Amino acid sequence: MAAYLLETHGVEVHHVDRAGADLWCKLGHGIVTVQVKSCSAPKQVGDKGQSYYTYCTPPSDPDYYAFVALDRELLVIKPNDQDAIKSTTRIMAQEFNATNQRRSIRAMLETT
């Protein structure tokens, strides 16, 4: 699903099975690595009823993570910023929407 969504935005995608990378994406004149992480549904955390998708993100060195919300059929791309990506990454359910999906893919495209 992540490869399909990236391809619909004009990204050339190649599936790979290498440590720390699931996809190689051609952006501009370079190749970036993408680790795909998926979650089937959000879980409520805390008393305020906040819903989060939770992803296992052990130390790795991809250029980007593609966080997929399977129940919504949406993804959010985030750069591998060592300060922001921890061993467990939580993303609020409301972040998974069509606008954020387009915005995060465009941001990835604009960095090359």
Q: What is the CATH number of domain 2-110?
A: 3.40.1350.10
Whether the per-residue pLDDT at 72 is higher than 80: the answer is yes
C-alpha triplet 62, 67, 70: angle, nearest 5° = 140
Q: How far apart are CA 84 and CA 72, in angstroms?
A: 24
Average pLDDT, the chain: 90
Contact 58, 87 (CB under 8 A): yes
* Per-residue model confidence as pLDDT tens digits over 1-38: 999 999 999 999 999 988 779 999 999 889 999 999 99
Q: What is the pLDDT of residue 58?
A: 82
Please state, for a pLDDT cut of 70, what percent of the chain lies above it: 96
pLDDT, position 83: 63
